[in-house]
Structure 1
Amino acid sequence: MHDDQVDVTADIVAILIREQFPQWSGRAIQPLLSTGTVHAIFRIGDGLSARFPLRLGDPTETLAVLEREARASAELAQVSRFPVPEPVALGKPGAGYPMPWSVQTWLPGTVAFDADPSGSDAFAEDLAAFIAALRDAETRGRRFSGDNRGGVLAHHDDWMEKCFEESEVLLDVPRLRRVWSHFRELPRTGADVMSHGDLIPGNVLVTGDRLSGVLDTGGFGPADPALDLVSGWHLLQPGPRDVLRRTLACDDLEWERGKAWAFEQAMGLVWYYAESNPTMSRMGRRTLDRILASME
């Protein structure tokens, strides 16, 4: 999926486990088919999973990221009303794999890409309960400090320009430019709250049309209160989306900003993963279609 991608195999994982965590040696190692774009994931026995960064980076910087994600995941686990993976260990480079990697608990369930809960009001209520619990968590004086989604919409103008240029033969770019010109001007009023940051179908587990767990929790941190509302556009049809909004008591501005963050994310997914990860690209198109339909 990436020009600088690092491949990792089950044989490499087995060697790393045997050398660094012999207490798990001999457990079955199963590569997981995933739409994820950041990590290769391997199941270790029944209760653990290992995550290997896909993109080559400086090992020291990668370790710092993994340590930060582990702290964030542990903090989110303390406030979530639904099961989330918990950090277990950090591994070192070895066996031909050049970077640190992580181990966390395994959660059962089916990702929302494969068990579509988009028409379920009960799922929307569960999703709202998850978001509300995160919003109630203490920021402890922390504020958004990154350069990804969750800060100032207009700071993404350069990225959006690249998305528009790359999407000329894929999407109705003139119309989408007009939409962004509206979104980028939306004012920010609410203070930062704690947020998951990436509530897309691949990070949500479903059992029987109910939310049964949430994955990829390492981005837990302070952000625009509207950020986790991207879930309404990535995951829900209009009826359940209204349930999410009512349950969270979103005003018009907050709801529109959530739509804006979903738009920013979806625009990048369509072209970047058009060939390398068609599932993610299709998700981006579906989200854009939902946003445009809501504006007609």
Structure 2
Amino acid sequence: MHADQHAVDTGPVRRLVDGQFPRWAGLPLTPLASGGTVNAVYRLGDDLTVRLPLTEGGSGDIAKERRILGTLGGLPVAVPAVVAVGEPAEGYPWPWAVHGWLDGAPAREGHAARGLAEFVLAHRANRADGPPAFRGQPLSTVDTATRRAIEDLSRTDEPFDPAAALAAWSEALDAPEWAGPPCWVHGDLMPGNLLLRDGHLTGVLDWATAGLGDPAADLIPAWNLLTADTRQGFRDAVGADDATWARGRGRALSMAVIQLPYYRHTNPVISANARYVLTELGCVPAP
């Protein structure tokens, strides 16, 4: 997926685990098919996962996620427990982590995750100090990148209406910025990070982007997961005003147009979700 991606194979990962955590040496180690873009993920036994950053840029997430997960409380869903952190070895150049396994299936587009609004509100209410959220800043900070991505996408063979995307982006930029105190946000509520069991939201993964910022960052599931039939109910439940809703819509658009040209040949899960977002936002021409 990335030009600077480090190759991760089962053999070296097995040696990393056995050499640094011999108590787990007898547990089966299985690579997991993942739509993620930052880590290679392996299941270790029944109760653990091994997460290894694919690039140097993602290696700092190990320590950040460990700090964040240690501060969370009062959430209506499970979050991963950081069980151990490993050191570079066996040709692998960065820290890596062992997390607890959470049961569940990733949410699918068009299927409302029950309890999603409850989670967003509960997480927003966390009062402990935290780092700036990765996507918690004003939309203007990604204006250049978003416009460049719209242009890049318009030059591909993807069904895409750049004029509609630019109009939607301009509308989001025109919305008033968040004037309240920074809120805790997850910042990456993609379907693959939301675990469902029996139709209920039971777990939330991948906390490296979390921190304090604009609550609009956690409205992106309205367009990357929900449908027109369920979107308004989510908005009502989280109490999003017009400006916050517009910024959330803009954040979903920005992520989709940046992801699709970058991942459309390398990550079918992320690129399919980006297409879903653009369709829900009216940025795909009618057939």
TM (normalized to structure 2)? Answer: 0.92
Counterpart for residue 232 of structure 1: 222
Counterpart for residue 205 of structure 1: 195
Q: Distance in 1 between matches of 2:8 and 2:126?
A: 36
Counterpart for residue 67 of structure 1: 63
Counterpart for residue 15 of structure 2: 15
Q: Distance in 2 between matches of 1:128 and 1:179?
A: 24
User: Is structure 2 residue 217 aligned with structure 1 residue 222?
Assistant: no
Counterpart for residue 173 of structure 2: 184
- In structure 2, list runs of 5 or more residues that go unmatched: none
Counterpart for residue 159 of structure 1: 145
TM alignment of 1:73-152, pairs within 5 A = 73-76=69-72, 78-112=73-107, 116=108, 118-120=110-112, 123-124=113-114, 126-140=115-129, 144=132, 148-152=134-138
Q: Distance in 1 between matches of 2:140 and 2:68?
A: 27
Give per-residue Cα distances to partners, 1:25-74, cap 9 Å, x unaligned: 110001000000000000111111010001145xxx93x54212101122
- Native 8 Å contact 2:29 2:44 kept in 1: yes
Identity %: 35
Give per-residue Cα distances to partners, 1:144-179, cap 9 Å, x unaligned: 3x6x42211111122112202211233222221222
Q: Distance in 2 between matches of 1:157 and 1:213?
A: 32
Q: Distance in 2 between matches of 1:227 and 1:190?
A: 14
Q: Which portions of structure 1, spanning 4 or more consecutive aligned residues, are displaced by more than 6 angstroms?
A: none
Return closer, same or farther for 1:117/1:212 CA change in 2, 3 Å cut-off: farther
Q: Which has the higher helix share?
A: 1
Q: Distance in 1 between matches of 2:229 and 2:77?
A: 23
Counterpart for residue 261 of structure 1: 251
Q: CA RMSD in A?
A: 1.8
TM alignment of 1:168-179, pairs within 5 A = 168=154, 169=156, 170=158, 171-179=160-168
- Native 8 Å contact 1:46 1:106 kept in 2: yes
In the TM superposition, residue 139 of structure 1 has moved relative to its aligned partner by: 4.3
